[in-house]
A = this chain, B = another copy of it.
């Protein structure tokens, strides 16, 4: 079989020789595992222990590569994390790639290599995949979709409807890093490149709280950021959210950049953080568990669930109050 050409062509999507070459020499080469079978139409999985859980996520981030990660690491963590905050451990991934004609093969290789390493580190196997090629000008390089399949680990029920007045709200680390890193990569502002996406597997953070009594709800604040998660809670519970601005971890670089460019960091995506809501009696225990993990060193208690007002309110450092409204226009599209 020939070596791969320098760029993706439409023939890589036609089911014939070139598609077979792309799958064998790129996708299967990096993603190989005992379950993935190129000759089969479907994967046969080992029995799932306990209650099966599943989630799906599409990824359209632009640019495809950014400080701290690329669309490949995002596609693994996005689905693994959605299962984790729902109380489940991902075991298997399915992968769909919609590739634009003209994508440099070297870039696709970097992305798929990262995806493979990330999956391996997270303990998940890519068990089946599909590739399609769309004509130049009908994509933006690469769109990925992953479905994560696993089993329930958390024995407590998790959900917004469990949330009660007086509950405490925690976040596992600084917010807005991913959104800011992607924005910098996109706009090439010429600013410091030390800002990195926080894209990471949040399963260890979630697992640290699964057995803590009084845990009500976990969520990774991705699209729409911290403010959007809190809004969803407010709308589902009809309660209020009261936040202490000075308690919310925020990197100085992110704060400065947002100030210069007019973004509100509380609406910017994180890809490796968790928001937890739990009984206030357990807040200190939860914080201690998180701070004991490398990923949770900067975790903080940031607010409380109130009866009134039925809004998301930020108490500013100077003692003022600012209402965080529901996101309408998109401040920063395509960050995941």
- Please give the residue numbers on chain A whose beta carbons come within 8 Å of chain B beta carbons, in ascending order: 10-11, 13-19, 39-48, 51-60, 82-83, 85-86, 88, 92, 94-98, 127-135, 137-140, 143, 145, 147-149, 152, 159-161, 219-220, 222-224, 228, 231-232, 236, 326-331, 333-334
Contacts and interface: CB of A to CB of B under 8 A. Distances in A.
Contacts of A326: 16-17
Copies of this chain per assembly: 2
A11 B298 CA distance: 32
20 contacts: A14-B223, A16-B224, A16-B327, A17-B328, A39-B161, A40-B86, A40-B159, A41-B220, A43-B55, A44-B51, A45-B51, A47-B52, A54-B127, A56-B95, A56-B96, A56-B147, A58-B96, A96-B145, A137-B137, A139-B139
A333 B135 contact: yes
A301 to B, nearest CB: 22
B145 A54 contact: no
Nearest to A57: B130
Contacts of A17: 326-328
Contacts of A14: 223-224, 327, 329-331, 333
B134 A140 contact: yes
B236 A39 contact: yes
B45 A94 contact: no
B86 A147 contact: no
A266 to B, nearest CB: 13
A39 B159 contact: yes
Given A48-B48, A94-B147, A42 B55 contact: yes
Contacts of A220: 41
Q: Which of A54, A82, A219, A232 gathers most chain B CB within 10 Å?
A: A54
Contact of A160 (B39, B94, B130, B330): B39
A58 B327 contact: no
A131 B59 CA distance: 9
Contacts of A53: 42-45
B60 A98 contact: yes
A132 B219 contact: no
Q: Which of A45, A92, A95, A133 gathers most chain B CB within 10 Å?
A: A45
Nearest to A56: B94
Nearest to A221: B15
Q: Which of A43, A83, A92 gathers most chain B CB within 10 Å?
A: A43
Contact of A329 (B11, B55, B86, B327): B11
B333 A13 contact: yes
Contact of A97 (B58, B228, B331): B58
A40 to B, nearest CB: 6
